[in-house]
Structure 1
Amino acid sequence: MGSPRFAGGMLAAWFRMKYPHIVIGALAASAPILQFPGLTPCDIFNKITTSVYETAYNANCSVNIGKSWKAFETLAANDAGKKQLGDIFRLCDPINNADDLNQFMNYLEDVYGNLAMTNYPYNSTFLAPVPAYPVRQLCFYLKDLHQNDADLIHSMVSALAVYTNYTGTEKCVDYKYSSSSTTLDNKGWDIQSCNQMVMPFCSNSSETMYRTKAWNLKEYSDNCYKKFHLTPKPYDIILRYGGNNLESVSNIIFSNGLLDPWSGGGVLQAPNNQVHVIILPEGAHHLDLRSSNPSDPASVTEARRMEATIIEGWLNQG
């Protein structure tokens, strides 16, 4: 799991911490500055995401997603099944082997996280064109508990199209990111996460809708060296910015939406009276930074008002 979509908030916080003589203050929206080794449990992102899916329509949604991994593996146990899986989901690249299947399932895990991040109350195109409350829309197709693998997989096709082809214009599902992997947006983040931005991720299938995965720094490091000849520095960010030692920090607003999986690594309690923490119970990823919309929850409108007042106070002090 990795995405540069939250980096602006983190950079804003660290900019104020590092250069308080230059920066008057910072609004760090959806900034998981605690999503680093030893600071936050590695399974928090996937636990929050699962909770979002459990409550979006009904609990059957996350249960079906949890059952789908085995259904995919069973179908892809032979060549005919691999082809069938590729045809059903209209994949740009065929599934030829176990590595392809794993990459496909990794892609689906990214999709679930991205939908939770963009679970806004109106249509958006932030990570992909999606409808209002896209998690609810996806879960509508998974509202019935499926006992049959074939029925489950066909329901998954309709559900995932909420993210992969909401506009109806996509010719195929690019699960290998072959058309976008060369962009600076993706490659830049891959390099950063193999250098300083080492964020541990893990999951347990008994507690989440995800496959069980342990955090393995050696495996992660070996993969980074293979791809970029880089060796990750897992504690570099903590050493540079102090980790959760925020007592001396001032003039930062940390805002977090509780529907945003990244909120688990955010600052949710103020370390002193010069740091402001704003919680948006109905907010997805940095919803308070987006343009005003008639569908905005009241908590988001109030958060923007509070942020403007706090920033005005900083400017008046300066």
Structure 2
Amino acid sequence: MAPSLRVTVVPLVGPFHTRFPLYTVVHVRSILERLQPEAVALASLPPGALGAPGWQATPEIALPHTVVPWARRRGVPLVEVASVAGGPGEPGNAEDAERFERFLSEFEAGRAHLRQVQAALRPVQELLGRALDLGRIRSELLPAIAAYEAARVEEYGEGPGTGWAAERAARVAERVRALPYRHVALLAGVDDLPALTAALAGTVELADAPDPAPDPDEARTRALLDVAMRGEVEDPAPLLAQLRELDLPEARYHQANLLLAHAHVAEALELLQGVAAGDFQEPYYLPGFVLARLGQLCDLAGDRAAALRAYRGALALDYAPPEAEAAARAGLAAPFEWPTRP
């Protein structure tokens, strides 16, 4: 009997979406728009995760940035299907793989196994240093990851050393097969895809995602904002000029960060005060980052009362990124000071 469920696999690359201008979070949403699936299965979130705001801290940034908002706007069901090591009823513990490698590092025979696995990882690391699109992710990155995962199984055996990858993949596959739909988009991190597609093979109709076709202007804007978010520029002037052209609160936030990095505190503060006076709810991470940074800028400007208000505002949000929350808590404890160079 032919499989009755069609599963279209959409690979996710975590924070590397910000480094791949041809496969940003906007490109991921574009794939879903082209697919129009009956439901979206999320292989990076365990069942029930969407019920609490903390899920937005997932390293798979495409989910809170574009995927979940798109599905909710369209009324497309979202189903969390992940199996997370150490979760309730799930195999092993989250620290098993790290502990296993630490144990191997204590004797020469174990270090030999580690060297083999590290050698298999190098092609993956090299590819992640390039600007990949969906085609290269499928044709180059996923095979390299599959070879790396195979090396882990050969050197470590299936179990704690692999983070229980095969067993977890089997559980995810079981959850996907149980979905009451005919066509599901399965979004999964590239690290999990080799084991997951193997677990699904032959039991569902697996399909590759279509090439994304986002609005060119939106895609360019997202790529520019991603560059600004990373802040890895020697000369900020060209980037600042491009950001000024964007009528977006996120662009103002990145401008402020670049200005602060070059000691222009007053200009950065003025920008963020303007952002905070308007609507800055999107994207999901922006409110927390804006308020935490605003508090720091107020501290640098000597306005402790305003700084405290901003820090408390960040902590009062339903969700703030862990980095923003940590900055706000530190700011409440003591005024922020710009690090001085030794």
TM above 0.5? no
Between Structure 1 and Structure 2, the one with more helix by share is 2
Q: Which has the higher contact order (CA 8 A, sep 6+)?
A: 1
TM-score, normalised via structure 1 length: 0.28
